[in-house]
Structure 1
Amino acid sequence: MPHDVNETAGTVLSKQDLREVTAFAAACAEGVLAVFEADQPDDARPRDAIDAAWAFARGGERGKSLRDTAWAALKAANSTETAAAREAARAAMAAAGAAYLHPLAKATQVKHILGAAAHAARAAELVAGDDRTVGAGHIGRAARRATPAVIDVLERFPAAPTGGGRVGELIRALDADLRH
């Protein structure tokens, strides 16, 4: 039996489940890291968050430094004036935060699984002048990137929640793509 991280309301997540989700999130966020770095070339916080996510996904520990890089990427997002760079940094924050998916059978937990992909898609849309077809393309690529293990974890949770503006719409679109 796999090592269970926690169990609540019938949802069980192993450390390997968390690693799979985090690897998916890191790959999605990495695709738009250059958007942030072009805007803020001297700010490594989003890159550090993605690197920490990859380190966990590849067998590292889920400790304070991983959580700290997620918070630092969020602070980086809040320190830029450019919407696309802000979304790229939020994608990095969500990648590091994916390791902290909770085993609660709540729709809001879907954001931990799909948030990095949605923020990355939104960053790409904004770079392209708010072109929604660009975001849809990113969501399609994220759906193809999702491994069976990521889909298995996703299906343990209710469908993505309503709200959340355009990023919420992108989360719901990806959620629907992966569940069909």
Structure 2
Amino acid sequence: MTAAGADLTIELSTAELREVTAYAVACAEPVLAIFERVRPGDDRPRAAVDAARAFAEGAARTKLIRDTAWAANRAAQETRDAGQAAASDAARAAVGAASAAYLHPLAKATQVLHILGPAAYAARAFEIDAGDDPRVGADYIAKAHDLAGPVVVSVLSRYPNAPGGRGRMGELLRMLDVSARGKPPPATRTAVPPPP
């Protein structure tokens, strides 16, 4: 720490940043179908995921990633305002995938959103799309846990635990955070009561 209250800087290589971004893309991409079903022809979230993928595969980190992330964010806001919650969270997963390329090497809990946010938003989108079934979200978090390779877990372990708040998406985020860090797993799908 350089001064009282300053944030600690952590080590983060470009290779690790690419690995985290690849993970975010893998978590966000499956949920794009929900957005595209609701908004056919609107490719803003897919463009954000594609730009993130290009970076993960070795392309330069360019303004295109930020531009597509902002466009996907507008798509998320538009679908939210139209009452299309699952599509909105699907678009937010895409925003998160692009944002993963800009994970900052500052030991702040909010940075965990760049690592695990795409998975949590995707889980929430799938959950809402399935009639707000919490088992669906928990199942997707389990899949996202399995996708997190050793590099992603190593990077995650350098940051503080996921922040509180953010409603159900935040709960899903924290479930994945606990699980990925190797702590005792959170409540699984068997512990969630079936819907009435």
Q: Could you tell me the TM-score, scaled by structure 2's length?
A: 0.87
Partner of 1:46: 45
Superposed CA deviations along residues 96-149 of structure 1, whole A, max 9, x for unmatched, are 000000000011110000000000000000000000000000000000000100
Work out the percentage of aligned pairs sharing the same amino acid.
61
In structure 1, the partner of 2:14 is 15
Structure 2 equivalent of residue 136 of structure 1? 138
Aligned length: 173
Q: Give the aligned partner of residue 120 of structure 1.
A: 122
Distance 1:79 1:10 in 2: 36
* 2:10 counterpart letter in structure 1: T
> Is the partner of 1:13 in helix, strand or coil?
coil
User: For residue 146 of structure 2, what is the amino acid of its counterpart?
Assistant: R
For residue 9 of structure 1, report the CA deviation from its aligned partner.
1.8
Alpha-carbon distance between aligned partners in 1 of 2:113 and 2:98, rounded to the nearest angstrom:
12
Q: Is 1:145 the counterpart of 2:147 in the alignment?
A: yes
Q: Which runs of no fewer than 5 residues in structure 1 stay unpaired?
A: 1-7
Q: In the alignment, what sits opposite 1:166?
A: 168
What is aligned with 1:36?
35
Determine which structure has more spread, i.e. the larger CA radius of gyration. 2
Cα distance, 1:42 vs. partner? 1.4
DSSP 3-state at the match of 2:12: strand
Structure 2: which amino acid aligns with 1:60? A
Q: Deviation at 1:10?
A: 4.0
The runs of 5 or more residues in structure 2 that have no matched partner are 1-6, 183-196
Judging by fraction of residues, say which structure has more strand: 1
The residue type equivalent to 2:170 in the other structure is G
TM-score, normalization by structure 1: 0.94
The amino acid of 2:110's aligned partner reads: T
